[in-house]
Chain A
Amino acid sequence: MRAAAAALNRSFKHWSLLPAVLIFLLLTLYPMVNLVRMSVSTIAFVEGTARWSFTPAHNFRLLLNDAVLAAAAVNTAIFVIVAVAVEIALGLALALLVARLARGKGLMRTVMVLPILVPAVAIGSMWKLMYNYDFGVFNQALTAIGLAPVNWLGSTKVALAAVILVDIWHWVPFVFLILFAAVEGVPPDVIEAARIDGASNRQVTWRIIIPLLKPALAVALIFRSILAFKTFDEVFLLTSGGPGTSTELVSLHLYKVFFEQNQLGYGALLSLAIIAAVVAFLLVSRKTLALRSAQ
């Protein structure tokens, strides 16, 4: 017993890291290696067992001729750029505003955390009800003021904007929380000093506070961009990519290739392309992250 305790103590450094390493090896690294194997294969299920055949050119040809993927890539780019830009702008404005008010900070922290914590699927349900053509709150408001109702999720012109609005509602609070914590971290004496030197409120905000927020802004930008790129749950619920391909995102397309069209080989190739894109983005933004941790 004593000897066992001593052995556990001596080897603690190693066995404490072991479970996590094993999980990552078996559930992330091995699947990624498997993705490479799958990406050059066609996999069919014959009587419940997987049959692999080696067809590398086939999957590449699918990738190059995938018209839906092209549409999804464009939609995803619009989705990420518009949603993240608006979220950062609104989140920043709100953080600067609340920091200047004497009351309401606690309330804002409580309320703003709600959308982050409830299931994205529940958020999709909420907005599906609100966007409903016949009885949704938006069309009720439009008809009340004498305007024609809008087919929010069913029209190719509006659907992407409608889906982006849901993402903005979902994630402005997150940007707010990060930036608000950073604004509260600005030393008051810096602001005092600027005011004594005769700086106006506007100058203090733009020349003192916002430059000091740069690291937090970089974090919000990088995190939000990647999370927006991964968006799946709400859009799956709201439109599933429709009408046509007007709200098709890369994540939705990947899901459909894998699990609706059962193209596991081509899906794996698509997955590898997505992973490569994310890693490339991370490497590019690493400079900003390194800058941040140096401060």
Chain B
Amino acid sequence: MTAETSALPLVGRDRVIGYGLLVLAVLCVVGPFAWILMSSFKQQIAILTGAWSFTPTLSNFGEVLFGRRSDFAGNVANSAIVAATSTVLVLIVGTLAAYSLYRFAWARWVTTGFLGWTLVFHMIPALTLVGPWYLAFRELGWYNTLGGLVLTHVTLNLPMTVWLMMAFFREIPPEIEEAAHVDGCGPLEAFWYIALPLAVPGLIAAGVLAFIFSWNEFSVALNLTARDTATVPVAIARFAQQYEVQHSQMAAAAVISTIPALLLMALGQRFIVRGLTLGSVK
């Protein structure tokens, strides 16, 4: 079956209705994005009157990014630092762990214990651990530091990274590594020269998702950062929580916050969709 046919095609009037519903679904998803994009180019006054025709302005973006009373440029820098650093670290730690569990004969309790724990930790709300993290980080002087936040994001993304990388390692034909072993390749060399290059699509998928999840993460960042270490989602929430909601700036900040996801999406959609649905259909 090719992508452009169906085993159960709709015909006649059903087909017209079918395409109508498809268009409706797309509009439902895109509509809110279009609305906030439009709002971000409106003056606050045009937002407040609900005008549909207005003179587009870049002033909201200017105000948010370069305004004297706005820290948003700093928030963007914090988010970029935290997301990039935690992504690199989680890829290193997660890939090594995934390869170790996949390749070596660990006792059964180690594998099931490790993977079971990742599942439980992945499923409980992060907020349940923020309290103890807060206490410990205050003690260690890591509260309100980017390093502390990086550490929590590495932890939060570790389960997903391990599962994804294990799935990608499993797809490598074992004969390749066996051949390398026969040729005198040690385990570390086999990993570095054989398995890792073959798992690059997995590294891209896991890396893109880890970056996006870290960039988007809110509930931990909200409680472990203060003004100078706040990330983008925390800053957007501040706009929305002010006594007089700054609608135009909130809209502009929200639009800016979606840019990394859109960029990475454009570059690696194939990998992302694969990563998001992997394991759920196998």
Q: What 0/1 pattern do residues 12 to 48 of B give for CB contact below 8 A with A?
A: 0001001101100110111011011001000000011
Query: Could you tell me if A113 and B6 are in contact, using CB atoms closer than 8 angstroms?
Result: no
Contacts of A129 in B (CB 8 A): 35-36, 39, 47, 247, 250-251
How close is A192's CB to chain B, nearest CB, in angstroms? 7
CB of B112 within 8 Å of the partner chain: no
Instruction: Please give, as numbers and ranges, the residues of chain A lying within 8 Å of B218 by CB-CB distance.
Output: 119-121, 232-233, 236
Tell me whether A17 and B96 are in contact in the complex, defined as CB-CB below 8 angstroms, given that A35-B131, A134-B50 are known contacts: yes
The contact string, 1 if C-beta is below 8 Å from chain A, for chain B 117-148, is: 11111011111111111111011000000000
Residues of B contacting A220 in the complex (Cβ-Cβ under 8 angstroms):
280
List of B residues within 8 angstroms of A232 by Cβ: 125, 127, 218-219
Chain B's closest residue to A252 (CB) is B127
Q: Which residues of A contact B182 (CB under 8 A)?
A: none
| Residues on B with beta carbons closer than 8 Å to the beta carbon of A122 | 36, 233, 236, 254-255, 257-258
**Interface residue B55 (Cβ < 8 Å from any Cβ of A):** no
* B interface: dominant SS: helix
**Contacts A20-B94, A134-B50, A140-B50; is A177 near B127 (CB within 8 Å)?**
no
Question: At the interface, yes or no: B60 with Cβ under 8 Å from chain A?
Answer: no
Residues of B within 8 A of A107 (CB): 26
Given contacts A118-B261, A185-B281, A275-B124, contact A125 B36 (CB under 8 A): yes
Contact B121 A28 (CB under 8 A): yes
Contact B32 A12 (CB under 8 A): no
Residue in B30, B94, B257 whose CB lies within 8 Å of A119: B257
With known contacts A120-B218, A181-B281, A38–B125 Cβ distance under 8 A? no
B173: Cβ under 8 A from any A Cβ: no
A31 at the interface (CB under 8 A from B): yes
* Sample of 20 further A-B pairs with CB below 8 A, known A43-B135, A120-B218: A9-B186, A9-B187, A12-B188, A27-B155, A100-B6, A101-B18, A111-B29, A117-B212, A120-B216, A121-B218, A121-B233, A121-B236, A122-B255, A123-B32, A129-B35, A135-B47, A233-B233, A258-B134, A264-B135, A282-B119
Residues of B within 8 A of A (CB): 1, 3-10, 15, 18-19, 21-22, 25-26, 28-30, 32-33, 35-36, 39, 47-50, 92-94, 96-97, 99-101, 103-104, 106, 110, 114, 117-121, 123-136, 138-139, 151-152, 154-155, 158, 162, 186-189, 191, 212, 215-216, 218-219, 223, 232-233, 236-237, 239-241, 245, 247, 250-251, 253-255, 257-258, 261-262, 264-265, 269, 272-273, 276-277, 280-281
List the 7 closest pairs (A to B, CB-CB), nearest first: A9-B186, A135-B50, A20-B97, A31-B132, A271-B128, A16-B100, A117-B261
**15 A-B pairs, CB-CB below 8 angstroms?**
A6-B186, A9-B189, A13-B100, A13-B103, A17-B106, A35-B132, A102-B6, A108-B26, A117-B261, A117-B265, A132-B247, A169-B29, A181-B281, A236-B218, A254-B127
